[in-house]
Structure 1
Amino acid sequence: MGRPRAFDEDEAVRAAVGLFGGRAYDGVSIDDLVSHLGMHRNSLYKTFGSKRGLYLIALRRHLADDVRPLADALADVSDAAAALRLVTSADLNLLLLATLERAPVDEEVACEVKAALAAVDQAIADALGVPAELATALTAAALGILLRGNPDSAATALTQHLGLLT
């Protein structure tokens, strides 16, 4: 009979979301995971199969806990400026890093990212009653603002000066 787990799997996945969201997949080693999650290397492999296995579970957790609630909240926005502010204030670090780093080389990650972004686009399109292409452009602008940093001032400038979103 094996020993009982000395770690909480749910807490380990949440910690992995933070670690991958802060340093990206390639920036996190197995040693980093073992140290940060407080688990033994063998436990990590036994529970998650591999670093990639843990990454996929962490990405799915992030999408469920952070991106889906964002899409739900977007259903209540009344204008594009509010949608932009909502997206730029969300914690989307892991989604952004997955989009840039892993989706181009990992089909499973690409499918997860594509579905998550489509849900955000659809929520914006439905809430604002705009064509899908415009909703996608708004999502892209918001994500670009997040990538460039300083989302508050950039979102404000975009909504005030372009006149396209108010």
Structure 2
Amino acid sequence: MALKLQVVICSTRPGRVGPSVANWFKDFAAKHEKFDVSLVDIAEFNLPIYDEPVHPVQRKYEKEHTKKWSASVADADAYVFVTPEYNYGPPPSFVNALNYVYKEWNYKPCGFVSYGGVSGGLRAVQLEKQLVTTLKMMPMVEGVAIPMVATLLDENRKFKSNELIDTSAQTLLNELHRWAEALKAMR
């Protein structure tokens, strides 16, 4: 049985580029053929600012949105977070989504496909890597950075990759698969 990889769209704002980049990566990962790949959009869960009365480590969720988010996160063996950079940091929607659950994230690897202006979202990823380690996740050193993402969108706002980005994506997926296999024993 193939390992389950979730490609997670981290931005929830209207007009976002995330779905275009995430759809490209989902298709690229499916061709890799080592994962059962699904697309997850944080926006579809309508998570308010964290509103559970009990600490997430106890998994005593009261809200339906939390229960649905918990089930989604628990279903994966690995994640690739498709993330923009907001003011040198992660989008608040992503930070909030991470905080909603705890054990569901534990002992799973994650990678990052970041996009933005000249930095390609790398400053946000540096902070995001610190956040995921506190959830006992293993962030990959390898990643995909997409600078000047607007120049890689066609007239329909569909993301068009290039050789450098594709090579980075292949490297990320290879490493992510190795870690996902290795961490299975810890779950």
**TM-score higher than 0.5:** no
Q: TM-score range by the shorter chain?
A: 0.3 to 0.5
With normalisation by structure 2, the TM-score equals 0.31
With normalisation by structure 1, the TM-score equals 0.34
**Which has the larger helix fraction?**
1
* Higher gyration radius (CA): 1
